[in-house]
Chain A
């Protein structure tokens, strides 16, 4: 028996693009999540990182079936989540809860904290015993570091950090096993971020929670996660242990991402080599053929356009990478070349080719 709490197998979430006045014709699809497979072990924190539009939030929502996946399998503790329907799904939701990004917009301003927290209990029919429910609310608030007096207050009476604590309390009150946290700290100030990050860690230790943390901030993700998955344009391009990923990034995109994160230390910043990516993320409605990253990759070869790389195990460390040439790039056998700037228009159908406009890229990155 494996210790995986969640297994996602070839999950796809495609959103149809509709057009037409009378007839709702589907003219295409946005491939938000396009074939992601991953496992989350019990008690670990899985960090999902990527830039906006890469499908990381959709993946989290798809896991909870807040958006219905197009295809694929989700197994939670032996249960096939996608096979559950109606009442059984509703009761099942108790085991997976979500914490949202912006505590200001995810809490109803007209509901008191008590009413916000009781809502979940009501949905799961756990509110009948009043005394029991009250006790539960108080202990939950206590665990996130809020006083019991907070119950009668409204969201606007709290600061940003406290509001996020309410959001976490709302997820905790049902006693879930998995918490999906979508950008839990990105709306908070730096000094408050640390408080919430520490709180998430403490709760995991005391309650044995499993987390799927979705964020764009690689430094935060690396700090809290055990395993990190890097997403690009709907697919997982690399997955590794948190330290391993930083020590030995294999996928060119991971490298670029790591080198782009500013480090608050001038001595490091002055000496750092940067790998600057050319252009922007291609449209997920019209992803490039083959490897999705090839249009911006300094190592791309003809094979990359023809064949889509699958996520494969690189070596015994368990690190997985979706790149045809990971070994050659890692050993330095394959050298980077200049990438031609390619125009990508958000929402546009085809990318026109540009012949003479070049943005020089720094590709003199040392290979380890």
Chain B
């Protein structure tokens, strides 16, 4: 039984005077206990909104969230806000992109870590702070006793992200959602944080949903990868399959368009033409069709379904890239 089962999740932004925007358009995926699942896509594809919807962090006003988010058989979308608060932080932890804006600047770090423990495990402040010290130590923050009393601005970017990880993992959640956890960091710090995340997830058996735009991060970390485009999953595959034989022209194009450090320096990069503004609505065919090199008549007109492929993969394309085409 999957730990997290997202079924047909849709988020529609409704604002007065503007046409409704379908940010997430029927996304379904599952996360098994201990598994690491990646959600990959470019800005505007709905990957962050998906994570916020799962956590119930989208404002109720102006947003319509439909579908089901089953977390060990409980539909999180149906819970009352006060009940959901019992789950958040205890069973599901979350790490955000920018560690400076997600920590409270006027509260000492220790209190922010201890808060979770007080709320969910009923610890006293004293006991929670003592435990927080151990947590900071576990995420590799040197001299944790002193750091507990410090404020977020006194820490470097990498340290702050470590602190966020400590908060997210404080109650040993069964699921951790990481939304672009390393995007704001330098590469050498990114390598530290990714290694740390991998170790913690392996040791504790926590399942991880990794949201990122960086295909390199996904390649080293995730078991299964979901590629999102314009609010829908267009391809899902085991990471080895996805990178060796990407079937969707979008995935294929993305992989070809990133310069690789270990490849020969080619003359030109492959480029995907146009931009997301050229998309057509999913109801009128494949949203990617106007930018696609393999577009055929069947791509436009009817909705393209997400068809299962082998090894629990799936593909939404009428004219996929043949398997033998190299990346």
Contact = CB atoms under 8 A, between A and B. Distances in A.
Same complex origin of A and B: yes
Contact of B220 (A197, A262, A357): A262
Contacts of A162: 275
B249 to A, nearest CB: 11
Contacts of B266: 223
A265 B259 CA distance: 12
User: Which one of B142, B244, B255 has the highest number of Cβ atoms from chain A below 10 Å of its Cβ?
Assistant: B142
Nearest to A358: B142
Interface in B135-186: 137, 140, 142-143, 154-159, 186
A261 interface: yes
Interface string A198-221: 100100000000000000101110
Contacts of B158: 280
Contact of A357 (B142, B192, B244, B275): B142
Interface in A109-123: none
Contact of A243 (B219, B239, B265): B265
B88 to A, nearest CB: 30
A222 B261 contact: yes
Nearest to A258: B261
A263 B261 contact: yes
A192 B253 CA distance: 11
Given A263-B260, A343-B143, A194 B271 contact: yes
Nearest to B182: A262
B243 interface: yes
Contacts of B42: 189-191
Given A51-B186, A257-B188, A190 B257 contact: yes
A260 B255 contact: no
Interface stretch (A17-25, A89-97, A269-277): A269-277
Contacts of A262: 190-191, 194, 214, 216-217, 219-220
A66 interface: no
Interface string B269-293: 1111101110000000000000000
B156 A280 contact: yes
B124 interface: no
Given A262-B216, A264-B216, A264-B243, A195 B271 contact: yes
Given A51-B187, A274-B195, A198 B268 contact: yes
User: Which one of B159, B254, B262, B268 has the highest number of Cβ atoms from chain A below 10 Å of its Cβ?
Assistant: B262
B215 A264 contact: yes
Contacts of A269: 216, 219-220
A131 interface: no
Given A198-B268, A219-B260, A277 B188 contact: yes
Contact of A276 (B191, B217, B243, B254): B191
B140 A222 contact: no
Nearest to B191: A260
Contacts of B255: 264
B84 interface: no
B189 interface: yes
A346 B156 contact: yes
A313 interface: no
B104 interface: no
A218 B257 contact: no
User: Which one of B42, B156, B239, B266 has the highest number of Cβ atoms from chain A below 10 Å of its Cβ?
Assistant: B156
A246 B263 CA distance: 10
Contacts of A341: 142
Nearest to B240: A266
Contacts of B155: 345-346
Interface of B: 42-43, 137, 140, 142-143, 154-159, 186-192, 194-195, 213-220, 239-240, 243-244, 253-255, 257-262, 265-273, 275-277
Given A270-B220, A281-B156, 5 more contacts: A191-B254, A197-B269, A222-B265, A276-B195, A346-B156
Interface of A: 51-52, 159-162, 189-195, 197-198, 201, 216, 218-220, 222-223, 242-243, 246, 256-270, 272, 274, 276-277, 279-281, 341, 343-346, 348, 352, 354, 357, 359
6 contacts: A223-B259, A260-B187, A264-B219, A266-B240, A268-B219, A354-B143
Closest 9 CB pairs of A and B: A262-B216, A269-B220, A223-B259, A260-B191, A194-B257, A264-B215, A51-B186, A194-B269, A191-B272
